[in-house]
Amino acid sequence: MACIFNGAYSDPNHPEGWRTIMVSGPEIAIVAGVETAGGDVWWTEAKVCPEGKCISIDFSKKTDGKVGMLEATPVAAGILFPDGNTWTKNTWTEESGAAGYIGKYADEHHAEGWRTIAVSGSEEAIVAGVDEKGGPAWSTKGTMVDDKLNIDFSEKSGGAVGLLATEIVETGIKFPDGNVWTKYVAEVETGKKKCDVNFVKDMVKEMKCVVA
């Protein structure tokens, strides 16, 4: 049920920015975002309540301690915070051509870091990551071309690397040089069903029925 939170969100308090939530372990998620278009990426960790009934996000690092842990609950539109603010989930999550890429990944070239991919449009995705434990986050755009997610690394690499076409393989996604980002695959207790995009679609439909 934790994977019900996976996706890209918009925050009405920061209309030019974005937020992503991606499950990264049992009852743990990575939350990332920017406040303005092209702004610096912030990230933090969150704890997912049993059965996905809530998610507690630690904003202390983002706010220099002014705001701590906030518990949000899933609603039909996205997630609702105690002050009434709602992060609205991108509706392309289930239908996008990039849906198969949604998830949290490990890159063997940056063993202490992480990567996440969240759908942001019909054929687009937000790719974010850190290269070392506790390090600064980066983000870029991915676009579907010929059934492959083309990720733009030009800004991250200072122009040394540009667009790289990736393809889905059994363990994650594969780059032209053979490097594979290994996908974290969560399981839920009921029937040990994998937290894949079809499961997320079913849970979103069920959640909308419950909270509508």
Helix (H, G, I), strand (E, B) or coil at 150: strand
The per-residue pLDDT for 12 is 97
Give the residue carrying structure tokens 């705001």.
Answer: 67
Give dist(CA 25, CA 29) in Å, integer.
7
**C-alpha closest to that of 167 among 182, 153, 147:** 147
Query: How deeply is 134 buried, as exposed, middle or buried, from its count of CB atoms within 10 A (0-12, 13-18, 19+)?
Result: exposed
The per-residue pLDDT for 187 is 57
Contact between 95 and 122 under an 8 Å Cβ cutoff? The reply is yes
Helix (H, G, I), strand (E, B) or coil at 94: coil
pLDDT in tens, 171-212: 999 999 999 999 998 654 444 445 554 444 444 444 343 333
Give dist(CA 18, CA 36) in Å, integer.
8
Residue 60 CA: distances (Å) to CA of 133, 136, 141, 181: 18, 15, 27, 29
Contact between 5 and 21 under an 8 Å Cβ cutoff? The reply is yes
Residue 126 CA: distances (Å) to CA of 8, 141, 149, 168: 8, 5, 11, 16
Q: How many CB atoms lie within 10 A of CB 38?
A: 9
The per-residue pLDDT for 1 is 60
Which stretches in the chain have pLDDT values below 50? 188-193, 197-212
